[in-house]
Amino acid sequence: MTPAAHAAAAIEVLADIETRHRPVASALKDWGSAHRFAGSGDRARIASLVYDALRRRSSLAWRMGAETPRALILGALAFVRQTPVDDLAAAFAASPHAPEPPTDAERAAIAAATLDGAPAHVRGDYPEWLDAGFARTFGDERAEEGAALAERAPLDLRVNAIKGDRPKAERALAHWKAAPTPLSPFGLRVPLTDDGRGPPVQSEPAHLKGLVEVQDEGSQLAALVAGAAPGMQVVDFCAGAGGKTLALAATMDNRGQIYAHDNDVRRLSPLHDRAERAGVRNMQVRAPRGEADVLADLVGRADLVLIDAPCTGAGTWRRNPDAKWRLKPAALEARIAEQDAVLAAAAPLVKPGGRLVYVTCSVLAEENEDRLAAFRAQFPAFRPVPAVEAAVSAGLPALGAFATSGGDALLLGPRRSGTDGFFVAVLTRG
């Protein structure tokens, strides 16, 4: 397939998303199933173009003067990929499987494009109904913070200390030009291609042998700030597929015990194979079993309880750009209720003197500071550890620069720390 044919396919996929109101991954999968002639490389390039359009949907529509799938793809090619409009016209005219060349009106829109006068939510490419929430977190810089969340995300890997160190992983991945991440001592960052694609990690020997795992640097930092250590009793309360479980186990050096729990047993299913590949031997999976309390024997025993809480994912929009446009106020309200519930359920597990670490991949105060305030009103025995102190204790003093205005938590993000958006708060039980 030619680049022009990729553009035509991307327009089809966006039209499907718009018409059927479905996640982008489902639309891309169905398009690939219906067009078997398209190879894996073609499908990857189409997906990359679709994601570029969705990341910048509002600002592209503003500059193009329309929000149609065609306008968004033309805008992504012109403004994200910096393709001259004459080159687009020539490529489209030369291919029988391409969109129509740009019209005079589209050429004029591209030539005169500007975001001058655009409101913050357009310049920042986030839903208008979230503007008050972004203003609360970021103030007058909310458009810039939103725009950072609309950039392409890097490909970050975490080196598994059970299997080796970062120099060993660098040597193994030298052909990818992997380089150390700025903040995580276990992170490697792999350059993307010009169209935003990364290499096939899952087929790499370093991954197959458990030396590296795909994990954003921000997620790595959240696990490190939690402060798991050898010999501890640790509960990963919302373990999901186990990314942070494996990171915690590595810092524990397979000593002590880590319990992986999640309310949805399906999310836990990949963890068994991942743990085996990573060489983790101190993990127990505590999957739900009907009405039984599978964590009852751990009440008051845990040195550390990590809550990687269910959230809107507003800090991960670089990777999941369609999620921000599908997010509705009712979904935020549902996540808030879930966050309060998991905090209340996890708190009794922490022993006196132990730590509760609350993490979200969101930048919204409603899911972060507000939830901690509500939790502490219900559980006054828990006191926040100042963010600077938590960072120093983890051996990561540079993270103190990302303390929230109140000083009780860390707020990471692409503009602030070059990572996905994460909120990390450490509390101790008196």
Residue 60: phi and psi, rounded to 5, are -65, -45
Q: Decide: 405 and 411 in contact? Cβ < 8 Å.
A: no
Handedness of CA 399, 402, 406, 409 (dihedral sign): negative
Alpha helices in 127-181 (DSSP H): 131-138, 142-148, 166-172
Query: What is d(CA 367, CA 6) in angstroms, rounded to the nearest whole number?
Result: 38
Tokens of 252: 């524990």
Query: Can you tell me whether residue 90 is helix, strand or coil?
Result: helix
Closest C-alpha to 298, from 232, 375, 199, 381: 232
Q: 188 has which bridge partners?
A: 157, 180
Active site residue 361: yes
- DSSP 8-state code for residue 77: I
- The one catalytic residue among 44, 54, 250, 361: 361
Q: Which residues are annotated as a binding site?
A: 262, 308
Contacts 24+ apart (CB under 8 A), 68-73: 69/10, 69/11, 69/12, 69/14, 69/15, 69/18, 70/11, 70/99, 71/106, 72/14, 73/7, 73/10, 73/11, 73/14, 73/49, 73/99
Q: How far are the Cα atoms of 223, 269, 283, 284, 358 from residue 249, in angstroms, in the given order?
A: 10, 18, 8, 11, 18
Find all residues with CB under 8 Å of 183, minimum gap 6, and list them.
217, 221, 396, 398, 399, 417, 418, 419
Q: How far are the Cα atoms of 137, 236, 308, 368 from residue 133, in angstroms, in the given order?
A: 6, 29, 21, 12
What is the bridge-based pairing of β-strands 212-214 and 155-159? antiparallel
Q: Which residues are annotated as a binding site for S-adenosyl-L-methionine?
A: 262, 308
Alpha helices in 21-119 (DSSP H): 24-34, 40-55, 57-64, 69-75, 85-94, 104-111
Q: Decide: 420 and 414 in contact? Cβ < 8 Å.
A: yes
Catalytic center residues: 361
